[in-house]
Homo-oligomer: A and B are copies of this chain.
Amino acid sequence: MTLTQAVTDELTAILGARFVTSGAGVAQHGRDESPLDDAAPEGVAYPDSTQEVAATVRACARHRVPVIPFGAGTSLEGHVLATSGGVSLDTTRMDSTLAIRASDMDATVQAGVTRDVLNDRLAREGLFFPVDPGADATIGGMAATGASGTTTVKYGAMRENVLNLRVVLADGLVVDTAQRARKSSAGYDLTRLFIGSEGTLGVITEVTVRLYGIPEAISSATCRFPDVERAVDAATAVMQVGIDIARIEFLDELSIEAINAFSGSAHQVAPTLFLEFHGSPDGVLERSKAVENVILGFGAIDYRAASRQEGADLWRARHDHFYATRALRPGARAVTTDVCVPISRLAECIVAARAEILASSLTATIAGHVGDGNFHVVILVDPDDENEMTRVEDLNHRLVDRALEAEGTCTGEHGIGLRKTSFLERELPEGVEVMRSIKRALDPQNLMNPGKVLRTS
C-alpha cells in the first residue's frame, strides 16, 4: 500500500469528491481488455485539467505514490493495471475539444476525448481524424500506446498524425513537446518520445492532431480466396504495386464465422480481404479496378464491390472482430498477439501461425492489417486450465520468435504493457538499455506507470 492518509488528504484537497478510494469504480480501474488478472489501484483521481493533473502528480511524487494514466480501458497488454498500487489517473472528464482549426487541418483536444466523439465533432466541418484502432479509445490513450489500425496503410499511425502534446512529467512539470507547424526540426523529437511511452514517462493531457477532409468518395469491396496464402500474397502484391488504398484487411475463415454469428451477417466463409478506397469518384473507381486486376491474378474466388450500407456493415463487423471472437466461447479470455513483419515475410508467418493453431488444438482467429505486415491471432483460453494456458503461451512465443527472425516486431500497435517486457528485451537488447537511461532521467523514482514497457528489476 502506498496511499497513506496524508496523500489521500492532499489529493482530496486538490480534487474534492473527484478523488475516490472505494467503490466499484476503483476495481474497474484495475482492468483492461488483456487476459491478465485484475490489479486495482488504491484510488482513482478524476482531474478536469492539465493543472489538476500536475497537482495530482506532484502530490503523488512527494509521497512516492505510483500514477497510472487511464483512458477508455481498452488497452490489450495490461497497461492500466495497478500492479504496484498507486493512483489511477482517469482522463474521462478531460473531454473538451479545445480547438478545431479547419483552415490548418488540425485540432487540439484534451486527452480524454474519444476518437468517435472527435469524429462526430469534426463531421460538421467536413473533416475527420483517421487513426482507427477499432475500439473507441481516447486520443490520449491512443497517443500513449502509439496506436494505429485499419487506415494506417494510407494515413499513418498516431506517430504520423500528432503535431504536439502537452505532458505532465513525473515531477509535475508541464511540457509542450512542439509548436503547431506541420513539420519541425526544433531539437529532439519529444512528441514521438511520448507517443508509445505508455504513461511511463509522463501523463499526456492534451493532443494536437492532424485532420483530413472527408473523402469525396469512399468505396469498399470484399474478396474471397481459396486459401490463406493466396489471400495474403494478393494483399502483399497490392502494396508492392503501390496502389493508393485506404484499408486492406485480412480475415481467416473462423474470423468470418465469428463475425457472422456476432453481427448477423452472412459473409461466405473463406479467407477474405476487406478493402476500402478514398478519393474522387473517378479515383476510387480507377484504384478499385487496379486492385481487382492484381487480386484476380492470385486466384481470388470473387471480387465484390460493396454498397455504401454494406461498406458500413463491413467495417463495423471488422471492428467487432475481437469481441466476436471472444463470443465464440463464452467465459473464455482472449489473448491477442500483435506481431508485425516486413511484408515479404507476411504470408509465411500467417500460414505458419495457422498451422500452429491447428497443431496446438486451440481456438483462435486471425485478422490482420496486412498492408502494414501486422496481424493478430486472437486465442481463446480458460484461465483456470493450466494446460491450455501453457499451450497459449507457447504459441505466442513461437509467433514472436518467427516475427523476430523475420526482422519484425513483437508489437505493431498494441504496445508492450506488462506482458511483453521480456519480448522487448529480446527484440532490442541494446535499445532497452537506452530506454532505461531515458526512464531513469525523466522518472528517477519510477512512479509513472511502473513495470510497464520496462521490467522493474
Contacts and interface: CB of A to CB of B under 8 A. Distances in A.
Interface of A: 101-106, 145-148, 152, 156-157, 159-160, 169, 173-190, 192-193, 195-197, 201, 212-213, 236, 239-242, 244, 279-280, 282-283, 286, 338, 340-344, 372-374, 403-404, 407-416, 420, 424, 427-428, 430-435, 437-438, 440-442, 453-454
Given A193-B192, A430-B174, A441-B441, A342 B187 contact: no
Given A103-B236, A106-B342, 13 more contacts: A102-B240, A105-B343, A175-B434, A181-B341, A183-B413, A184-B412, A185-B411, A187-B416, A187-B454, A188-B197, A188-B201, A189-B192, A189-B196
Nearest to A106: B342
Contacts of A343: 103-105, 182
5 contacts: A182-B372, A183-B340, A188-B438, A189-B189, A190-B431
B101 A180 contact: no
B239 A181 contact: no
A184 B103 contact: no
A409 B181 contact: yes
Contacts of A145: 185
A224 B188 CA distance: 38
Given A197-B188, A453-B188, A437 B430 contact: no
A105 B236 CA distance: 11
A370 B101 CA distance: 18
A101 B236 CA distance: 14
A412 B185 contact: yes
Contacts of A437: 441-442
B159 A189 contact: yes
A408 B181 contact: yes
B182 A193 contact: no
Given A187-B196, A280-B286, A437-B441, A181 B407 contact: yes
A186 B344 contact: no
Contacts of A187: 196, 416, 424, 428, 431-432, 435, 453-454
A331 to B, nearest CB: 29
Contacts of A432: 187
Nearest to A211: B242
A13 B9 CA distance: 65
A229 to B, nearest CB: 15
A36 B185 CA distance: 20
Contacts of A431: 175-178, 187, 190
A156 B212 CA distance: 15
Q: Which has the most chain B C-beta neighbours within 10 Å: A177, A240, A242, A403?
A: A242
Most buried by B among A241, A413, A428: A428
A213 B188 contact: no
A326 to B, nearest CB: 22
A103 B186 contact: no
A185 B103 contact: no
A18 to B, nearest CB: 26
Nearest to A236: B103
A156 B413 CA distance: 21
A193 B193 contact: yes
Closest 6 CB pairs of A and B: A192-B192, A441-B441, A103-B344, A213-B242, A181-B340, A180-B407
A439 to B, nearest CB: 8
Contacts of A416: 185-187
Nearest to A240: B103
Contacts of A190: 428, 431, 434-435
A102 B342 CA distance: 11
A321 to B, nearest CB: 19
Contact of A185 (B185, B415, B433): B415
